[in-house]
Amino acid sequence: MPKHAWKKTAMLAAGFGASLLWVTSMATAHDPHTAPTTVDMFAMNSARSPAAAVRTQAAAQQRAAEVAAARRQAIQAAARRAEKKAAAERAARDGRASELREASWVTPVRGYVLGAPYGAGGRLWARRHSGQDFVVSTGTPVHAAHGGTVVAAGWGGAYGYNIVIRHDAHTYTQYGHLSRIDVWVGRRVTTDQLIGRSGSTGNSTGPHLHFEVRTQPVYGYAIAPLTFLRSHGVRV
């Protein structure tokens, strides 16, 4: 290439580069907000994102706490309802059991062996045996065979320490040869209530309970105790 042609080309290239530089500079000069705007938006987004995340997390925790509280309240309310229902059922059962006890009869002692029966004869009795003997050791708990009112409690001669209970106008029970008396005249007792302890006081050949059923409170009106108890559903 001729020397003068090379110089011309170089000048054109230099001018073109200067033109590009000028155009770029002018674009930058006439749009001064481009770079700063980009930097400002990034800074704002960077500042806002952690705060928004904290608020979102706090709201989620609040909702979870409210749900947990509502669940606890529901569980507690259900427990209270269940306890109230159970208490009512227990009261109903206890009431029915009490009514059944009052309406029922029981044996006066537990763990016994049947001894001398009603009507037995012999030198031990002036006439006939007026009750049923339940052979048990001294101190065995003695219970009321049925609910009623105590009409006698104390020493009874040949019966030793004894108790008589009135159940109705024509039904009485007697408990003889006791070692201990735990009730008194006028005391209201319930079926199966502890009234004393067995022994061998009075006209007795050994520890046992002498049990009578009478139509009147005094001697001479006895009826067969086992027959009576069995007629009232007692297994004996």
**Residue 153 pLDDT:** 98
- For residue 98, being part of any structural domain is answered with no
The mean pLDDT value of the chain amounts to 82
pLDDT at 100 over 70: no
pLDDT at residue 49 is higher than 70: yes
Name, of 21-25, 47-51, 198-202, 203-207, the range with top average pLDDT. 198-202
User: What are 135-152's pLDDT values in tens digits?
Assistant: 999 999 999 999 999 999
Asked whether residue 156 is assigned to any structural domain, the reply reads: yes
Determine the distance from the C-alpha atom of residue 101 to the mean position of all C-alpha atoms in its chain, rounded to a whole number. 23
- Give me the number of domains the chain comprises: 1
Query: Taking residues 60-75, what's their average pLDDT?
Result: 92
Answer whether residue 119 is part of any domain.
Answer: yes
Following DSSP, what letter does each residue of 131-157 receive, concatenated?
SEEEE--TT-EEE-SS-EEEEEEEE-G
Is the pLDDT assigned to residue 199 strictly greater than 80?
yes
| Distances in whole angstroms, Cα of residue 47 to Cα of each of 21, 34, 42, 169 | 36, 20, 8, 98
In a domain, 120, yes or no: yes
CATH classification at residue 150: 2.70.70.10
Q: Please tell me which residue in 143, 146, 167, 208 is annotated as part of the active site.
A: 208
Most confident of 120-124, 126-130, 217-221, 230-234: 230-234
Residue 150 domain-assigned? yes
Model pTM greater than 0.85?
A: no
Decide if 56 is inside a domain: no
d(C-alpha 212, C-alpha 122), whole Å: 18
Q: Is 143 a catalytic residue?
A: no
pLDDT for the residue 45: 55
Residue 159 belongs to a domain: yes
Residue 176 lies in a domain: yes
Output the six-digit token pair for 93.
């059962």
pLDDT tens digits for 161-193?
999 999 999 999 999 999 999 999 999 999 999
Domain span including residue 164: 113-231
